Amino acid sequence: MKGERFSFQLLKEGEHGRRGTITTPHGAVSTPAFMPVGSQGSVKALAPADLQEVGTEILLCNAYHLYLRPGTEVIRNGGGLHRFMGWEGPILTDSGGFQIVSMSALGKVEPEGVQFRSHLDGSSHFLTPEKVVQIQEDLGSDIMMTLDDCPPYPASADEAKAAVELTTQWAKQSQGVKANNGQALFGIVQGGVYPELRSQSAHELMEIGFDGYAIGGLSLGEAKEVTFEIAEHVTALLPMDSPRYLMGMGTPEDILAGVRIGVDMFDCVLPTRCARTGVLFTSSGRLNIKHARYSTDTAPLDPACGCYTCRNFSRAYLRHLFLARELLAYRLNAVHNLFYYHSLMRDIRQALSEETMEQFVRAFVSPRGDTGDTSEDKGGETVC
Amino acid sequence: MKGERFSFQLLKEGEHGRRGTITTPHGAVSTPAFMPVGSQGSVKALAPADLQEVGTEILLCNAYHLYLRPGTEVIRNGGGLHRFMGWEGPILTDSGGFQIVSMSALGKVEPEGVQFRSHLDGSSHFLTPEKVVQIQEDLGSDIMMTLDDCPPYPASADEAKAAVELTTQWAKQSQGVKANNGQALFGIVQGGVYPELRSQSAHELMEIGFDGYAIGGLSLGEAKEVTFEIAEHVTALLPMDSPRYLMGMGTPEDILAGVRIGVDMFDCVLPTRCARTGVLFTSSGRLNIKHARYSTDTAPLDPACGCYTCRNFSRAYLRHLFLARELLAYRLNAVHNLFYYHSLMRDIRQALSEETMEQFVRAFVSPRGDTGDTSEDKGGETVC
């Protein structure tokens, strides 16, 4: 590790959200922040140089994926994850608890840890909370996540309570073995859709004490209103002076909603996954580049956008690349979508600083959905 | 069209090759030159910014592919091919005669032109030599190729003679309709493996008069010695003051051999296709990144290389990306392979200028093939 130790500075807090700065051994992150997802050590179709250009300040990688392939040893021996993937900025590693259950065959939660078979080759693995910390210390990420028990939705109150208790126990074990090396460790609040269990989980984690707190186990199938009711219930409990991370969300609308209830960090595969299906985020709503209407359209994706893609290419060219399955399509689309996300975060931070969030939200909502390219436009949801 | 008209300046000619400069409406090209292939209006996995960075001076695109998709109208209405694909440098468009026979269903050569069905949707098309010029004028390429009759190998002397005669007739028609707008038009020498037919073809084309001369119909299955015997037979006939283009070749070894018989221009899909199969060109031979031996190798692909890939990433990371099928793999590999090709051309040009080609060739051959990664290494051939 190099540079400064992890810290969080809350710059401003109001009824519409918080402005802050996270300091890590690999640099600072302005919050609210969006983290592009590079599960396997690469944000799909993008090089580190692109990420810098689109404004990425912190990446998310996945310890589960990297542990299975190429293996922790390979990365540790290669000088750690930053050097391995050529990214000098901050990295948060997810523990993989969620992926183990959702992706691997025979994923099974036991009191001592998680038993599973690799989704790649069927090999058997058993990961304890301590081992998961060790993996992330070997990777050398700036922010590590504890192993948590994230039951699938819907979970009964009994199931959710058991998951909270195991998550607390594992969080305690994780904090107990963590090296004092400048890497941060975040706890993950569970408790399903049950406010009292969320309270229990948050209080137990705060008692152990973490560098930051994540809200896990949401956006698994529950109604969107429930998601944000629960998330708001949790953020109201969490300490002011620690960063809060709403895991795996979401759409631009989700992010705005999350910011307004006091979330500082977000991650989602949406901008890069949509890029690969031809769905682009623009200042006037989603645009599906496959549509015939763009076949002769010489305008950029978004005339209001300053990204490399919009500065250099027309919708007609991007449509052509996509239909011809040219690899460049996925990259140019990803550059645009991440630039959009990071610009959104920058605008949000500015509105928070200048206390103009109400106007910002009104202006954000009004012009949207007018391309009509995706049926989800009107509801503010994107499935790509 | 903008800028200067097409011209060729021969700077130096010796027994080991020629140094020259091609001037086009979109800038100058130092020869001998290698043209990366962007058949569908994109060099696979690379953006124009990458091409500039790896040293590309001129691109090859394919009129056949672009005529079928997105269609000539789309590109013309979008301001021409340069603007459409965001590439401001020179572009050569291949006519597609070769692709029509090799890729399309029911490709059939008739005296008036070529009848074929699209490989994309089965639609019927008939292209005359005049139409092929028109397509390329609509695309606005800097160098256009005439439609030629390129029979598959092996062709009998009778078949080859008929192809020469039709190629000459079409070349005459092409030159007859070409606009006087600064775009260059190259004729294509045919004649199979028959020196006397090659002579006939070259002389007939020279009588019509073209801005440059291509050698087509080689590397179709004949022995490598035959390829270069025929190519040398042709270059010896062609005018000194016009550029010579050996179509569709080749390996670094092919290029060296071509330069030594007086070829000025090359194109090949090899560097970008190999990139997508994990075969990398290095100063000590081919390297297959899939090999287990690279799984923990922290060295760059080629310690002697200064490309973005070699400056930032290890073999272990590149192997990981390739095995994980990350899109970034294809791009980083393509960046490296094209950088290698363009560096090779730069070194060749320098050796020609300084009259050190003999030493250069000796030094080039000696360290090669030592990785043993591909069975073809020893023979100097790469199939990727």
Rounded distance between C-alpha atoms, residue A189 and residue A234, angstroms: 8
Residue A78 and residue B324: Cβ atoms within 8 Å? Answer: no
Residue B296 and residue A45: Cβ atoms within 8 Å? Answer: no
Instruction: Please answer whether residues B332 and B50 qualify as being in contact, where contact means their C-beta atoms are separated by less than 8 angstroms.
Output: no
pLDDT given at position A378: 36
Closest by Cβ to B320, choosing from A41, A45, A86? A41
B-contacting residues of A 321-340, CB under 8 Å? 321, 323-324, 326-328, 330-332
Question: C-alpha distances in angstroms, A42 versus A27, A29, A333, B321, B365?
Answer: 19, 19, 16, 8, 36
Distance from CA of A137 to the nearest CA of B (A): 19
pLDDT, one tens digit per residue, over B172-229 is: 999 999 999 999 999 999 999 999 999 999 999 999 999 999 999 999 999 999 999 9
What is the C-alpha R_g of chain B?
Answer: 20
- Tell me whether 0.85 is exceeded by the ipTM: yes
Residue B317 and residue A85: Cβ atoms within 8 Å? Answer: yes
Q: Which residues contact B346 (CB under 8 A, 6 or more apart)?
A: B55
Instruction: Please say if B302 is a catalytic residue.
Output: no
pLDDT, one tens digit per residue, over A146-170 is: 999 999 999 999 999 999 999 999 9
- Identity of the residue numbered B22: I
Scan for tokens 């091919």, then name that residue.
Answer: B81
Distance from CA of A118 to the nearest CA of B (A): 14
Rounded distance between C-alpha atoms, residue A2 and residue A147, angstroms: 25
Find the residue in B nearest to A66 (Cα). B320
pLDDT given at position B375: 43
Distance from CA of A90 to the nearest CA of B (A): 17
Collect all residues of chain A within an 8 Å Cβ-Cβ radius of residue B296: 73-74, 77-78
pLDDT given at position B76: 97
Rounded distance between C-alpha atoms, residue A58 and residue A25, angstroms: 12
pLDDT > 50? residue A375: no
Cα A221 to chain center, whole Å?
A: 17
How many CB pairs (< 8 A) connect A and B? 118
Nearest by Cα to A66 from B326, B164, B208, B70: B326
Greatest alpha-carbon span in chain B:
61
Reported in sequence order, the residue ranges of A25-112 that DSSP labels E, i.e. its strands, are: 27-31, 33-35, 59-62, 91-94, 105-110
Instruction: Please say if B158 is a catalytic residue.
Output: no
pTM for the whole structure: 0.95
pLDDT > 60? residue B282: yes
Cβ atoms within 10 Å, residue A242 = 20
pLDDT given at position B75: 98
pLDDT given at position B96: 84
Cα B257 to chain center, whole Å?
A: 15
Q: Which token pair is B349? A: 């040009």
Rounded distance between C-alpha atoms, residue B13 and residue A171, angstroms: 75
Nearest by Cα to B92 from B66, B120, B118: B66
Q: With cut-offs at 50, 70 and 90, classify the pLDDT of residue A358.
A: very high
pLDDT, one tens digit per residue, over A184-219 is: 999 999 999 999 999 999 999 999 999 999 999 999
pLDDT, one tens digit per residue, over B284-331 is: 999 999 999 999 999 999 999 999 999 999 999 999 999 999 999 999
pLDDT given at position B106: 73
B88 touching A (Cβ < 8 Å): no
Closest by Cβ to B78, choosing from A45, A312, A314? A314
Share of chain B above pLDDT 70, in %: 94
Residue A84 and residue B295: Cβ atoms within 8 Å? Answer: no
Share of chain B above pLDDT 90, in %: 89
- Identity of the residue numbered B50: D
pLDDT given at position A341: 98
SS3 A38: coil
| Catalytic-labelled residue, pool B50, B211, B264, B267 | B267
Question: C-alpha distances in angstroms, B176 versus A292, B14, B62, B180?
Answer: 37, 35, 22, 11
Residue A319 or A107, more confident: A319
Q: With cut-offs at 50, 70 and 90, classify the pLDDT of residue A384.
A: low
Rounded distance between C-alpha atoms, residue A137 and residue A346, angstroms: 31
Residue B326 and residue A40: Cβ atoms within 8 Å? Answer: yes
Mean pLDDT in chain A?
Answer: 94
- Identity of the residue numbered A83: R
Q: Which token pair is B36? A: 């990366």
Residue B328 and residue A78: Cβ atoms within 8 Å? Answer: no
Residue B326 and residue A44: Cβ atoms within 8 Å? Answer: yes
Closest by Cβ to A70, choosing from B40, B45, B316? B316
Strands A244-246 and A212-215: parallel
Phi then psi for A336, rounded to 5 degrees?
Answer: -65, -50
Q: With cut-offs at 50, 70 and 90, classify the pLDDT of residue B366.
A: confident
Scan for tokens 């919009």, then name that residue.
Answer: A310
Q: Which residues contact B68 (CB under 8 A, 6 or more apart)?
A: B118, B119, B120, B125
Closest by Cβ to A296, choosing from B41, B77, B313? B77
